[in-house]
Amino acid sequence: MDFNFLLPLLAMFTLLAALVFSLYSKAVTEKKRKDPNAPKSSLAKDGPGPQPLR
What is the chain's pLDDT, residue by residue, as a tens digit (54 residues)? 577 889 999 999 999 999 999 999 999 999 998 998 888 777 777 777 676 776
pTM for the model stands at 0.65
The neighbour count for residue 25, using CB atoms within 10 Å, is 10
In a 10 Å sphere around its CB, with 0-12 CB exposed, 13-18 middle and 19+ buried, how is residue 27 labelled?
exposed
Q: Which amino acid is at 50?
A: P
Q: Report the C-alpha gap between 27 and 35 in whole angstroms.
A: 12
**pLDDT for res 31:** 94
User: What Cα–Cα distance (Å) separates residue 28 from each residue in 1, 9, 20, 40?
Assistant: 44, 29, 12, 15
Q: Report the C-alpha gap between 32 and 25 in whole angstroms.
A: 11
